[in-house]
């Protein structure tokens, strides 16, 4: 009943069902695409007891409720409202977005549904590492073999998962997108991680020699291939008679997209991915702690803009690149996230506003678990100076993480859960991560106390 009451109270404050184009949610936020933003009573919404903060992003009005709550409120809101179909929502929202915002939102919508699979794999890798570190399981035994299979599966079929999700976002058949992902990860294609020790076979097709290289664990090849596939499918649906659509359109789409993926998009995207990795590697090795300081301090601004979701592409490319094979960016982002929690704890200690105190502790703790929006939008950004204090903490923690070469073997996790993808790379890696964690939290806490803030809601 509590969630029903929240939904019933929230609906008129949004402007009623007729003002809602679509509703969606992520792990912490309920997101509304509305027809008239002026009809939203933001002040009244923020006074609701369960609301931890509100903001606009991607042309959407977003309300922070927190994990474990937002999905239940979403189910109730769907019953009380009558949102427009997905395609209508996309058409109406598009004029409100510039090209960069639309690009970032598209990447976010593609990757966010996949993150639970990546997180599960990362946690399993951490479990395997603990079992091996303390000799709790026979190395190479049946149990360890099964756990290895479980932990690596999401990365092996990552292009299949992305293909399905990307096709939905591009307005194409998601199952055909999954097929394109399957083509790029076919067992007859050499896993790119083996390129250092094995030479791929080549075949000649139409006078062209094609190396049989796979794209397991990669991101850019499947994104480009499915985007092209969506264009081919839409074109065919316009010219193929409806009576032949079920047979002709999928057949030609898969054939044309498959050849394009292996002949053009795959090799081209590998060049793009290597270029991006080499640029980041150059900055990482030669700028060192300065790069960590800069990236750690500015990452919170990327979260505000929503552009941080686009880094999943880069992080996955680093992991898939045989020259690197680790994610050295995620520890920097993690420092920026936990620093927000440190600043939130300082706010809790110093504020006299009961409403903010009530939010500050649980929101700060969720930041330490990798979910940063509640404390960032609900506490620190409202008071401004704590947000600056958190940026200082993120910069110092990020600088130490880069200086000591802290890295992860996955992505999607930050804060305390990130330990599971830090430990497999060695005990020293874990120790330096924990030191960087402490530096980020403590320095953000102290910086926020030193900067001070005014106790006000707006």
Would you name the residues annotated as active-site residues? 26
Helices (H), 112-192: 115-133, 142-156, 158-169, 174-184
Edge-to-edge strands, sheet with 60-64: 20-25, 29-34, 60-64, 53-57
Write the DSSP assignment of 169-231 as a string of letters.
HTTS-HHHHHHHHHHHT-TTSBPGGGTTT----EEEETTEEEE-B--TT-SHHHHHHHHHHHH
List the one residue out of 421, 42, 210, 403 whose CA is nearest residue 34: 42
- Sign, CA dihedral 305-298-118-28, equals negative
Q: Which pair of structure tokens corresponds to residue 359?
A: 């939010």
CA distance 254 to 229: 8
Residue 43's contacts (CB-CB under 8 Å, 6 or more residues apart) are none
What the block records as the tokens of 77 is 């809101």
Maximum alpha-carbon separation in the chain = 76
Kindly state the tokens that stand for 166: 């990307």
CB 116, CB 417: distance < 8 Å: no
Residue 189 carries which DSSP code? Answer: S
Inter-helix orientation angle 220-239/158-169, to 10°: 40
- Helix (H) / strand (E) element for 78: namely helix 70-80
Cα(359)–Cα(355) distance, rounded to whole angstroms?
7
Element (H, E) at 403: helix 385-403
Report CA Rg, the chain: 24
Helix (H) or strand (E) holding 441: helix 427-451
Give the residue among 182, 174, 214, 180 at the shortest CA–CA distance from 198: 214
In 280-376, where do the E strands start and end?
Answer: none
Q: What are the angstrom distances between the C-alpha of 85 and each of 20, 88, 96, 110, 188?
A: 11, 5, 18, 18, 41
- Measured distance CA(451)–CA(9) in Å, rounded: 38
Contact 364, 338 (CB under 8 A): no
């Amino acid at each position: 009943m509590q969630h029903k009451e929240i939904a019933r109270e929230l609906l008129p404050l949004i402007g009623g069902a007729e003002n809602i184009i679509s509703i969606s949610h992520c792990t912490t936020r309920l997101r509304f695409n509305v027809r008239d933003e002026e009809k939203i009573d933001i002040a009244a919404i923020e006074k609701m007891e369960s609301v931890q903060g509100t903001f606009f992003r991607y042309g959407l009005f977003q309300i922070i409720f927190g994990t474990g709550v937002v999905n239940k409120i979403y189910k109730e809101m769907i019953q009380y409202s009558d949102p427009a179909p997905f395609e209508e929502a996309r058409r109406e929202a598009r004029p409100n977005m510039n090209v960069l915002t639309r690009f970032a939102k598209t990447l976010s919508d593609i990757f966010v549904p996949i993150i639970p699979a990546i997180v599960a794999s990362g946690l399993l890798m951490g479990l395997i590492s603990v079992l091996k570190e303390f000799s709790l399981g026979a190395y190479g035994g049946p149990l360890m073999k099964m756990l290895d299979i479980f932990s690596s599966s999401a990365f092996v079929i990552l292009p299949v998962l992305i293909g399905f999700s990307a096709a939905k976002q591009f307005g194409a058949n998601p199952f055909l997108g999954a097929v394109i992902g399957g083509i790029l990860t076919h067992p007859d294609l050499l896993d790119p991680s083996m390129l250092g020790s094995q030479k791929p076979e080549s075949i000649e097709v139409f006078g062209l020699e094609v190396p049989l290289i796979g794209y397991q664990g990669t991101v850019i090849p499947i994104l480009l291939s499915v985007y092209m596939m969506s264009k081919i499918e839409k074109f065919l649906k316009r010219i193929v008679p409806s009576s032949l659509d079920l047979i002709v359109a999928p057949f030609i789409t898969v054939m044309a997209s498959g050849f394009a993926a292996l002949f053009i998009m795959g090799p081209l995207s590998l060049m793009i991915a290597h270029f991006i990795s080499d640029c980041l590697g150059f900055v990482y090795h030669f700028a060192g702690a300065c790069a960590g300081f800069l990236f750690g301090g500015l990452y919170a601004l990327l979260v505000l803009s929503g552009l941080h979701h686009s880094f999943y592409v880069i992080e996955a490319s680093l992991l898939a690149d045989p020259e690197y094979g680790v994610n050295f960016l995620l520890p920097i982002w993690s420092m920026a996230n936990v620093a927000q929690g440190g600043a939130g704890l300082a706010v809790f200690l110093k504020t006299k506003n009961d409403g903010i105190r009530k939010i500050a502790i649980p929101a700060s703790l969720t930041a330490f678990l990798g979910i940063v929006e509640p404390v960032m939008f609900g506490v620190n950004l409202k008071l401004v100076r704590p947000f600056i204090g958190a940026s200082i903490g993120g910069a110092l923690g990020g600088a130490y993480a880069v200086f000591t070469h802290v890295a992860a073997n996955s992505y999607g996790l930050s804060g305390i859960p990130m330990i599971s993808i830090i430990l497999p790379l060695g005990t020293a890696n874990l120790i330096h991560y924990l030191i960087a964690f402490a530096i980020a939290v403590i320095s953000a806490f102290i910086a926020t106390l030193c900067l001070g803030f005014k106790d006000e809601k707006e």
